[in-house]
Amino acid sequence: MSTFSDVLARQLRTDPGSPLVTFYDEATGERVELSTTTYANWVAKTASLLVEEHDLERGQRLVVDLPTHWLGTVFLGAAWSVGLVVVGPDDGDPDAVVCGPASVARWAEVADDLPVLACSLLPLGVRFADPLPAGVHDVGIEVWSQPDAFIAYDPPGPDDAATAGAFGDRTQGDLWRAAAAGSLLTDGGRLLSEANPASPPGLASFTEPLAIGGSLVLVVHSEPERLSATYVAERATARFP
């Protein structure tokens, strides 16, 4: 499996209905569970948003400036479906940015020059309650009208860049070979993590489970006792970090 699309297609063939990403925000009580099929649907809609609405193309650079959240995994998948290169917020020269509420003000300053897509991070991926700065696009408004399937016009291959900058220079082939050889889980395992999957330290917490047919339980704002209870309730088999 040498590209994200290959990896996801295999998971859809073998286990489409099982949980792939389960998200807990213990501060709000939110719990979101995405099966492989639901995750793939979100990725398709988001990839279409990037390409059809914002004219992004294979090889361009996308900053994913999101906190620890299930939408981070969606934008990673959408980027790699298109063939975009995921970079960090401080890597410079992006072609587009996706951000959360905390960094909207920072990226609004460049919204006249490149697409800036903002996620409210409210339950179900809904829109912001208040108007956004001029030029900033609300993902919670734009994503829902996108199609449920996405086929790249110019699909990326294993030699196309997947990450750069703070994430390290890796092709899609490099990324998924490393994920398949990773040591966080055994095949089919369930990883509980507090790390941000859309960050260099936490990237493997998403790519490794997907590569080996496992799943991710992503938790934020938890206390140790509650985290242990979630580990048991979700039948996790490993923790990261």
What is the predicted pLDDT for the residue at 91?
97
pLDDT band at 123 (very low <50, low <70, confident <90, very high): very high
- Cβ atoms 219, 194 nearer than 8 A: yes
Average pLDDT over residues 52-76: 98
Average pLDDT over residues 116-134: 96
What 3-state class would DSSP assign to 191? strand
Q: What is the pLDDT of residues 8-59, one digit of tens each?
A: 999 999 999 999 999 999 999 999 999 999 999 999 999 999 999 999 999 9
| Residue found by looking up tokens 């140790």 in the block | 224
The 8-class DSSP code of residue 53 comes to I
CA distance 96 to 26: 31
Q: What is the pLDDT of residues 137-189, one digit of tens each?
A: 999 999 999 999 999 999 999 999 999 999 999 999 999 999 999 989 988 99
The pTM of this model reads 0.98
* pLDDT at residue 103 greater than cutoff 90: yes
Higher pLDDT, 102 or 188: 102
Please list, in sequence order, all residues whose beta carbon lies within 8 angstroms of the beta carbon of residue 226, skipping any fewer than 6 positions away.
26
Instruction: Report in angstroms the alpha-carbon separations of 90 from 96, 118, 164, 169, 213.
Output: 13, 17, 11, 15, 32
Domains of the chain and any CATH numbers: 4-240 (3.40.50.12780)
Q: What is the pLDDT of residues 178-228, one digit of tens each?
A: 999 998 998 899 999 999 999 999 999 999 999 999 999 999 999 999 999
What is the predicted pLDDT for the residue at 66?
98
What is the predicted pLDDT for the residue at 221?
97
- Cβ atoms 23, 29 nearer than 8 A: no
- What is the four-CA torsion angle of 169, 100, 127, 11, rounded to 10 degrees? 40
